[in-house]
Amino acid sequence: MLTSTIIKTQKELDNLPNIDNDTIINFLYKHLDQFGDSPKAIRECLNYALSEQQGQGGFVVIGKIEDQLAGIVIMIETGMTDYIPEYFLVYVAVNSKLRGQGIGGKLIDESLAKADGDVALHVEYDNPAKRLYERLGFTSKYAEMRYKK
């Protein structure tokens, strides 16, 4: 049975047994597969989500089945409304050995319930999770374009 814990601050994470920043970063790096970011980028996002500084924050949802880490979601607060939603779902990953059991959907549902505003996310067109997001009610409003220096 899936159990989940919502963490809002670094202090709360520090009080969890057998879970720390590196555990979260390594899990996401491994289980995001080709759709993931570098450990450095994941750490930056985690620090932002758990920050208590003005203009930052968010939360992490940690899902476990018994003592096994099953999935993780990182949601950040944007500090905006209307044009940019209040929250951005940055990372969601499920242990590759446990996929297909509805774990990702349950963790996202819990994240959406916790967020007290609208939520956006980015997904690559060829990511199989895109169908899950659409089933959960996400719609594609914009095509994101980036300019890199």
2-121: CATH superfamily: Gcn5-related N-acetyltransferase (GNAT) (3.40.630.30)
User: Which band of pLDDT confidence, cut at 50, 70 and 90, is reported for residue 37?
Assistant: very high
65-120 residue pLDDT tens: 998 999 999 999 999 988 889 999 999 999 999 999 999 999 999 999 999 999 99
Using a cut of 0.75, tell me whether the model's pTM lies above it: yes
58 sits in the region (left: phi over 0; alpha: psi -120 to 50; else beta) called left
The pLDDT of residue 42? 98
Locate 94 and state its tokens: 């499920």
What order of strands is seen across the sheet that includes strand 68-77?
Answer: 2-7, 58-65, 68-77, 87-94, 119-121
